[in-house]
Amino acid sequence: MITGFLGPAGTFTEEAASQISGELRSFNSIVEVLEAVKAREVDLGVVPVENSVEGSVGVTLDIMAQEDSLKIMREIILPIRQHLLLNPGAGLADVKEIYSHYQALAQCRHYLEKLGIPSRATVSTTAAAKAVKGKPEMAAIGTSRAARIYGLVIGDQDIQDYPNNTTRFLAIGDHDHVYTGKDKTSIVFSLPEDHPGGLYDLLGDFAALKINLTKIESRPSKEGLGSYIFFLDFEGHREEDAIRNVLNNIRSKVGYVKILGSYPREGDD
């Protein structure tokens, strides 16, 4: 099993991908990871899709909506612990700039405001750790693994603003998971036209069959202002009768629908 992930090594995505046995292969972007899955250069691709503080990762959702060959095989939910990384022998008083990925900076906004030290965005938390190595006037926000890789020390730990900060990752393959009995299904759809009650009518089918919705989100369809597609997660597997029925019902009401995958619910093992 070869699993591609959004790298480089030392990121939270690598930590999530390491929960899957086999070889890990790093890529520079979410697009590259999912292209590698399509080309069958890797068996799975692990990418972030949602953070409890910063919300959804748009590029992941957009690609999943567009590519028919990509299916969700697994979700991985990871607690996010951000640390202030310093050069050995340096103290906080030495630091003039703090580097990290823009999402990490946003997740530590209150902490950074209290410090009053200017921050700079990098392409990843690991890139930040690499950039500050050997420069005592610079610090990074990142993982404990990044600190070990680049010979840094943790000057302050768990500096994220919210203690329950978590990120949801998806393991993407060319097929979804078999039925387990504790599953979740994800779909994306669009309404054929904008009219009162259209979305309400569709969601009522789930309520009538007592199917629990776990997430609903809209994204621009890229076809013009006011045009949206909707992402929906709900409990159950597409092979179950109730899920088949609700999917058949909504197909007659939508302009477009794609099953993104059925897969085990995280934490229900």
Q: Tell me which residue of 177, 180, 176, 185 sits closest to 211, measured CA to CA.
A: 185
Diameter of the chain by CA atoms? Answer: 66
Contact 133, 85 (CB under 8 A): no
The pLDDT, as a whole number, for residue 269 is: 47
User: Long-range CB contacts (< 8 A, 24+ apart) of 210-216?
Assistant: 210/242, 211/235, 211/236, 211/242, 211/243, 211/246, 214/184
Q: Check whether 194 has a pLDDT greater than 70.
A: no
In the set 3, 60, 126, 167, the catalytic residue is 167
The pLDDT, as a whole number, for residue 268 is: 57
Task: Give the rounded percent of residues in the chain with a pLDDT score beyond 90.
Answer: 77
The residue behind tokens 């799975």 is 44
Q: Check whether 225 has a pLDDT greater than 80.
A: no
Question: What domains appear along the chain, each with residue ranges and CATH number?
Answer: 2-80+165-173 (3.40.190.10), 83-156 (3.40.190.10), 183-264 (3.30.70.260)
Whether 234 sits among the annotated catalytic residues: the reply is no
Whether 60 sits among the annotated catalytic residues: the reply is no
- Single pTM value for the model: 0.87
The average confidence (pLDDT) of the chain is: 92
Q: What is the mean predicted confidence (pLDDT) over 125-145?
A: 94
User: Can you give the length of the chain in residues?
Assistant: 269
Task: Give the rounded percent of residues in the chain with a pLDDT score beyond 70.
Answer: 97
d(CA 53, CA 56): 9
In the set 27, 169, 189, 230, the catalytic residue is 169
Residue 32 to residues 35, 40, 150, 173, 248, Cα–Cα distance (Å) = 5, 12, 25, 14, 34
Q: What is the mean predicted confidence (pLDDT) over 107-126?
A: 94
